[in-house]
């Protein structure tokens, strides 16, 4: 397949090179031509503008810093949009917004051009080694058509849903990670200031329940199926634990903003009469505020988990 690639930075450079190594013809462009040196030496072709990339390719991929750059490269003067014709595909690997990719889909789709959003996760090492998750939104048939290219770039190309879904999945993933990062900063500064050596603390907690599994795994046990009874660990006991941690923070003058917010949330849930339900029941408060239920049929969920384990 003739692949065009725009944006040869830390992530994009490796992904483009892997597409080339995967046997695809490659046309490249970047604001810095020197970024394409290894690609050109390996057989890629240089294009002077995004439009020229699009004219020479069947599928065009972008890996850019953010929404501003994506919009300029796709819809701006000499942009991808001016070079694409009906039947071709535009696929954005950048971390961007669902609103922008839906706008691009509407504008290019009116001319018969297919659009997918496909942000990636795995960092620079994953981009170089192909240990890379790719979350795709758009028409599923188009995803299947582009999958050989995606499989050359990463090892986990996953179809999420309609256009924009990939971007939403990426933002959920990254925002969760940084919120968890902030929380870890709080509790580890509390633990160290309270007298525990950092390495010993890290080695200890990573063997606990939270340390032994990823932060998203527990969702399949409680929130997704809406199952909070009988409890794995009661809310009243979990709230007590957080209250004790916050008290240690006060004793050693450690700010615990997120922990205090969590304590307030759990206290509100306790006052709803949920003390003997599973501690995750406090997540229902956020569902109420957001006006949405995060639910998956338990039988469907069980089947998905079984397939993943098999």
Residues 201-251: tens digit of each pLDDT: 999 999 998 888 888 988 999 999 999 999 999 999 999 999 999 999 999
Query: Which of 162, 186, 219 marks a domain boundary?
Result: 162
Catalytic residue, from 170, 193, 207, 227: name it: 170
The values of phi and psi at residue 235, to 5°, are: -55, -45
SS3 291: coil
Domain boundaries, position 96 = 2-162
Do 203 and 299 share a domain, yes or no? yes
Beta-ladder partners of 4 = 27, 60
Query: Which of 135, 162, 189 marks a domain boundary?
Result: 162
- The whole-number average pLDDT for the span 17-30 is 97
**pLDDT attached to residue 148:** 97
CATH of the domain at 258: 1.10.1040.10
Residues 78-88: tens digit of each pLDDT: 999 999 999 99
**pLDDT attached to residue 218:** 87
Do 136 and 174 share a domain, yes or no? no
Do 98 and 13 share a domain, yes or no? yes
Residue pair 202/184 in contact (Cβ under 8 Å)? The answer is: no
Token pair for 91: 């696929």
Query: Which of 143, 162, 181 marks a domain boundary?
Result: 162
Do 129 and 235 share a domain, yes or no? no
Helix axes 257-269, 165-193, angle to 10 degrees: 110
**pLDDT attached to residue 211:** 86
Q: Is 103 among the residues known to form the active site?
A: no
CATH of the domain at 130: 3.40.50.720
Residues 265-297: tens digit of each pLDDT: 999 999 999 999 999 999 999 999 999 999 999
Do 56 and 183 share a domain, yes or no? no
Residues 5-17: tens digit of each pLDDT: 999 999 999 999 9
Do 198 and 234 share a domain, yes or no? yes
Number of separate domains in the chain: 2
For residue 105, how many other CB atoms are within 10 A of its CB? 22
């Amino acid at each position: 397949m003739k692949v065009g690639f725009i944006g040869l930075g830390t992530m994009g450079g490796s992904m483009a090179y892997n597409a080339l190594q995967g046997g695809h013809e490659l046309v490249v462009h970047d604001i810095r031509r020197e970024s394409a040196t290894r690609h050109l030496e390996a057989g890629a072709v240089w294009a002077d503008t995004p439009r020229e990339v699009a004219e020479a390719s069947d599928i065009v991929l972008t890996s850019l810093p953010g929404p501003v750059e994506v919009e300029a490269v796709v819809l701006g003067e000499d942009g991808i949009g001016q070079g694409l014709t009906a039947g071709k595909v535009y696929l954005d690997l950048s971390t961007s917004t669902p609103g922008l990719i839906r706008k691009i889909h509407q504008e290019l789709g009116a001319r018969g051009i297919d659009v997918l959003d496909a942000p990636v996760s795995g960092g620079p090492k994953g981009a170089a080694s192909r240990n890379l998750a790719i979350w795709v939104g758009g028409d599923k048939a188009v995803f299947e058509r582009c999958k050989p290219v995606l499989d050359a770039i990463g090892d986990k190309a996953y179809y999420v849903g309609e256009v924009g879904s990939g971007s939403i999945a990426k933002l959920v993933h990254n925002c969760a990670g940084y919120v968890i990062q902030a929380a870890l900063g709080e509790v580890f500064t509390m633990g160290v200031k309270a007298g525990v050596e950092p390495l010993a603390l890290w080695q200890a907690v990573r063997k606990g329940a939270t340390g032994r599994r990823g932060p998203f795994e527990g969702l399949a046990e409680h929130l997704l199926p809406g199952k909070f009874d009988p409890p794995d660990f009661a809310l009243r006991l979990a709230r007590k634990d957080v209250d004790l941690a916050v008290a240690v923070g006060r004793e050693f003058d450690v700010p615990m903003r997120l922990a205090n917010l969590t304590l307030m949330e759990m206290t509100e849930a306790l006052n709803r009469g949920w003390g003997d339900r599973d501690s995750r029941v406090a997540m229902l408060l956020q569902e109420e505020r957001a006006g949405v239920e995060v639910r998956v049929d338990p039988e469907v969920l069980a089947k998905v988990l079984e397939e993943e384990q098999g």
